Amino acid sequence: MTDKSNITKGRNSFDANIAGSLVPFFNKNVSEYPTEAGGVKFELVPVTKQKDLMINHARMFAQQEYDRIVELVNVLEKQAQAIKRRLEITDAVHGAVYQFQPVMGNVYWLVWDERKQHTLLTPNGPNDWSSSAPEDYNYRAQVKYMGDHTWMEIKDEKE
């Protein structure tokens, strides 16, 4: 055969003819596996075990990333709920009756007046009256006037 490439012309290098096709430059010294009978013994790579380890590592890291994203989503959901509640309180305050100019940063109370059947905004809380709060007042929420002209509900520390 004159069309052999056999670039290195080495003693252990040769072109192989496999199934009628020329496979140029097959160097049996480079292969980590024996290429002939009586070659050096070698251990098979435990492919199934390696695949299991790789899959377990991939699942572990994917689960960690998933948990991190879920945690971020929970934080965003809490923030969205807080903003929604702030808008609800702002709407309630704007719908309330009051006869004074609210000051930013001050705390007020939203009160349902049973006698007049409407919501009031008052600076006096249930414990701020000299004798006792009016009997017709049903205190709904303590609110604070914020710098962005919204109202935020102030939660009682005892809750």
Distance CA 65, CA 2 (A): 60
Give me the pLDDT at residue 1, please.
47
16 forms bridges with which residues in the sheet? 23
Both tokens of residue 19?
A: 């199934």
DSSP string, 93-129: HHHSB-SS---TT-EEEEEEETTTTEEEEES--TT-S
Give me the pLDDT at residue 24, please.
65
Both tokens of residue 138?
A: 């049903």
Give me the pLDDT at residue 19, please.
79
Amino acid at 79: Q
pLDDT along the chain (159 residues), means of 10: 51 65 63 66 76 91 96 97 94 92 93 91 87 86 93 74
Give me the pLDDT at residue 34, please.
65
Expressed in angstroms, the distance from the first to the final Cα of the chain is 94
Give me the pLDDT at residue 159, please.
43
Q: Which of 140, 96, 102, 133 is nearest to 118 (CA)?
A: 96
Both tokens of residue 54?
A: 């790789």
DSSP-based three-state secondary structure for 27? strand
Give me the pLDDT at residue 133, please.
80
Give me the pLDDT at residue 25, please.
61
